[in-house]
Copies of this chain bind each other. A is one copy, B any other.
Amino acid sequence: MTENNASESLELPLGFQTTGVACGVKGDSGVLDLSLFVSDRPAAAAGVFTQSKVCGAPVKVSRQRVPSESARAVVINSGNANACTGERGLEDAQQMTQLVASEVGCNADEVLVCSTGLIGHFLPMDAISSGIPAAHKQLSSSPEAYANAAKGMMTTDTFHKQVVRELELSGAPVRISGAAKGAAMIGPNMATMLAVIMTDASLTSADADQALRDAVNQSFNCISVEGHTSTSDTVLLLANGASGTEVLSGDDLAAFRYGVEEVAVDLAKAIIQDAEGADHFITVDVLGLRTREEAYAIAKTISDDALVKTAITGADPNWGRIVSCCGRTGVDLLETDITLQINGTTIYERGTPVEYDETVLSNQMRDNRDVSIALSFPFGDAQVRFWTSDLTKEYVRLNSEYTT
């Protein structure tokens, strides 16, 4: 059972409590800007982080603390990325984990930290120092508290993003619950935006790490708004074993890994559903390549391309721009190797345009938010699915007029 919306009724896994509070990072607006996720017992933890050489202080701190057999909490503030802030930024990030540790009663290195928002400003530590104890007092396992935690991570997001999946592993119910944020600067490179995935399954940290990396490669690494990898991208997985399952292995571990991937895919798609200014949600399938790297290069090039994105904004099935993208990836191919379908209609087949009713397809693209692009090649079995948004005047307005 997967849900992927602004529902207030999604449940946390056993043994987790969360909350989101307004502590003042975003000024006196009353908007939630600090989220806390706490496990009542040590959780195996894994993390995947931005590959950008310019990364935020929280990334530097958290990266050193995973994988781990014993994480207790994640603290996240929005409104300020604490990136490009030098030594003081690093001290502030460490101080955040120390403050949480004091409240929870654990070591600072059992706390992970994320910040998201503007780059290059020092954190308002006064606000955060009073916000963390206040958040700790409000911790709860209720659906409302979980929704608030998802809201406290938001920047330009227009809705909060939560996904819950329930599995039965060896007869025991296991829950995987994830929350994510992201609206722009989306172009992960073996990394991703902020997301926290919690489970009450029992896992070794090594298995948690592998499950998370594999899931991220199929989800957050397969989305793009404008292809810009951010300084703050972080995905965390916490597995606390509170469901009472044995440490997972074999078929149970495989089923769990698939569950994590589904949660990650749904969160990644929710980020693209909320892409800044977007009118269309575009699924790009690339099939029949020799390697996943080839399929990925083609899917990412199409997904990042301003000309493809603007054509879709205009509801135009412009195969020339898509085929031209294939050519510029460096993948060894000829136009006669390319077959293209849009919304299931074949419009270009092995190098030749196909007759089809352009008005019908264009109207379909104009009237529906979802567009599917499928490219097939004759080389092999490797394939990738990618999700992207279109490029609209509203995206330009949001990213050029924000200062006025």
Contact = CB atoms under 8 A, between A and B. Distances in A.
Interface of A: 51-55, 83-84, 86, 118-120, 184-185, 187, 189, 226-231, 305-307, 310-311, 313-316, 319-321, 323-336, 338, 348, 351-353, 362, 391-393, 395-397, 399-404
Q: Classify the interface of chain A: helix, strand, loop or mixed.
A: loop
B353 A311 contact: no
Contact of A54 (B51, B306, B327): B327
Contact of A313 (B320, B323, B351, B396): B396
Given A119-B320, A324-B54, A396-B393, A351 B403 contact: no
B399 A324 contact: no
B84 A399 contact: no
B403 A307 contact: no
A88 to B, nearest CB: 10
Q: How many copies does the complex hold?
A: 2
Given A231-B324, A323-B119, A351-B84, A184 B307 contact: yes
Contacts of A324: 52, 54, 83, 119, 185, 228-231
Contacts of A319: 120
A120 B313 contact: no
Contacts of A391: 306, 396, 400
Contact of A231 (B53, B315, B327): B327
B55 A327 contact: yes
A145 B228 CA distance: 46
Contacts of A329: 53
Contacts of A348: 84, 120
